Amino acid sequence: MTPRYGVYLHVPFCRRKCGYCDFYSATVLDLAPAYLDALVTEIDRRASGGSVETIYFGGGTPSLLTPEEIGRILDRVAARFSIEQDAEITMEANPGALSRERLADYRAAGVNRLSVGVQSFHPEELRFLERIHSAEEARATVLAAAEAGFARISVDLMFGTPSQSVEAHRGNLLAALALPVEHLSVYSLTYEPETPLGRALKRGDVTPASDDLDADLYEATIDALAERGFRRYETSSFAPRGAECRHNLRYWRRREYYGFGPAAHSFLAETRRANLGETGAYIRDIRDGGTGAGETERLTREDALLETVMLSLRAEGIDLAAFGEAFGEEERAALLSRLSAEIAEGLLERAEGRLRVARRGYALVDAIVERALERRVR
C-alpha cells in the first residue's frame, strides 16, 4: 500500500514578536532567500515518495512569503511526493497587508485553506497581546480571503487576557462567527516563562485570569459555538462535522507526517524527529550536506501507548477496539480500571466505541489525562 503522509512546513519569520509567543521565529527577514533554498533541499534529501494527504504552512508567519515562494515550495513537494487530488493545503496568515489579489495568488498557487491569526476583536486585548493588526484589518482579511476564493477559512482566537469578561469573550466568538469561517481554534492565554509576558507575570506586572474564570471562559466557548453547530473535536478546535482540520487530525491520530524547515517536527516509523531550531544553524547544516536534523527519538511501545492515551483524550477519544488490538486486552482493561472513577462521575463517557471526555469533563481534561497516565500496569 502506498504510504500516506502529512507535510508540515515551518516558516520561521514574523514582522514583530508578540509578547506571549514562544514559537520559534525571527523578525529579521534577510535569511529568507537562504532559508528557502535550504527548505527545498531538505525536501529533496528526505522525501521518500508516497502520497500526501495534507500540507500545512505554519510558523511564524507563512504569509510573509510571497505566493511565488509558496508555489515554489509546493512544486518541490509535488516533485518528491504525489499530492492527492483533494489534499488539504493550509497556510497560516496574519491579518493586515494581505490584499485580495495577493490572497487570490496564494489560492492559485495551490493553498486551499487559510488559518487567520485574529486572536481578538477588542482593541485593548490586541494591544495587550502585542498584535500588529487591528480588529478591522482582521475582518477585512477574512472577507478578502473569502472573495479571493477560499471556501475553507479558520480563525484563531485567544481568551483569558487580564480583566477579560465572559461577555467580552462571547463578543469575540460572535464576531468571528459573523464572518465566513468554517473552523475556529480557541486557546487559553498561557504565560510561557521565556516570553516577555511570562517575565512580566514573574515580576508581578500582570494578573492572569483565575482558574475559575479560565474554566468559565472555556465553557462559554463550548456553549456559544455549539449553538452555531461548531462542535468541539479537540481541546481548542471547533468546527461543524466534516470541516475539521484534516492535518491536525493526523497529529492526534498518530498518523505519519514530515516536518520540513527549522524547528519542524516529524513523526515517521514510530520515530519523532525535531529539526534544528535556529534558522542560521539549520541553513548551515543543509549547506554542509545534512538534513537539518536536531534530536531524533525512536519510540518504545510504552511511549506509543502513552501518546495514544494523551492525544486521543484531548481529541476524539480512545478507540477502544483499536487500542486493545495495538496494546493488548490486558492494557485496555487496565486503562478502563484506572479511569473507573472518572467514568462513574460522568467526566468520561463510552460512546461510538470510544472512551472520550464528556461535556462535564472538558474543563478538566488535563487532570483526566494525568490520571489516565499514572499507575500504569506494566
Binding interface with ligand SF4 (CB under 6 A) = 14, 17-18, 21, 23, 25, 59-61, 94, 117
Residue 154: in which H helix or E strand, if any?
A: strand 152-159
Which cell numbers hold the place of 19?
A: 509578547
In this complex, which beta carbon is closest to ligand SF4, that of residue 1 or of residue 28?
28
Q: Which C-beta is closer to ligand SF4: that of 17 or that of 170?
A: 17
On whether the CB atoms of residues 244 and 47 are closer than 8 A, the answer is: no
- Least CB distance from residue 166 to ligand SF4, whole Å? 24
Angle, CA of 262, 151 and 36, to the nearest 5°? 20
In whole angstroms, give the CA distance from residue 220 to residue 115: 22
d(CA 88, CA 55): 6
The 10 Å Cβ neighbour count of residue 343 is 16
CB of 305 to ligand SF4, least distance (A): 32
In the chain the first and final C-alpha atoms are separated, in Å, by 33
* Residue with Cβ nearer ligand SF4 (115 or 308): 115
Q: Which residue is nearest to ligand SF4 (CB)?
A: 21
The smaller minimum CB distance to ligand SF4, of residues 10 and 80, is found at 10
Instruction: Count CA within 13 A, CB hemisphere, residue 273.
Output: 21
What's the closest the beta carbon of residue 17 comes to ligand SF4, in angstroms? 5
Shortest distance in whole angstroms from residue 378 CB to ligand SF4: 40
Q: Shortest approach of ligand SF4 to residue 347 CB, angstroms?
A: 32
CB 83 within 8 A of CB 122: no
Q: Are 6 and 54 in contact (CB under 8 A)?
A: yes
**Of 78 and 206, which has the nearer Cβ to ligand SF4?**
206
Give me the residues paired with residue 185 across strands. Answer: 156, 237
CA dist., res. 236 & res. 154, Å (int): 12
Nearest CA to 354 out of 324, 327, 316 is that of 316
Which residue type occupies 224? Answer: A
Please tell me the distance from the alpha carbon of residue 213 to that of residue 221, in angstroms, as a whole number.
12
CB of 16 vs ligand SF4, minimal distance in Å: 7
Question: Rounded CA gap, 206 and 49, in Å?
Answer: 50
When the beta carbons of 92 and 331 are compared against ligand SF4, the nearer one is 92
Question: Shortest approach of ligand SF4 to residue 63 CB, angstroms?
Answer: 10
Of 94 and 185, which CB lies nearer to ligand SF4 in the complex structure? 94
In one-letter notation, the amino acid at residue 263 is A
Residues 126/129/266/377 CA torsion (nearest 10 deg): -120
Q: Among residues 23 and 191, whose Cβ is nearest to ligand SF4?
A: 23
Pick the closer one to ligand SF4 by CB: 17 or 255: 17
Q: To the nearest whole angstrom, how small is the minimum distance from the Cβ of residue 88 to ligand SF4?
A: 21
Minimum CB distance to ligand SF4, residue 61 (Å):
5
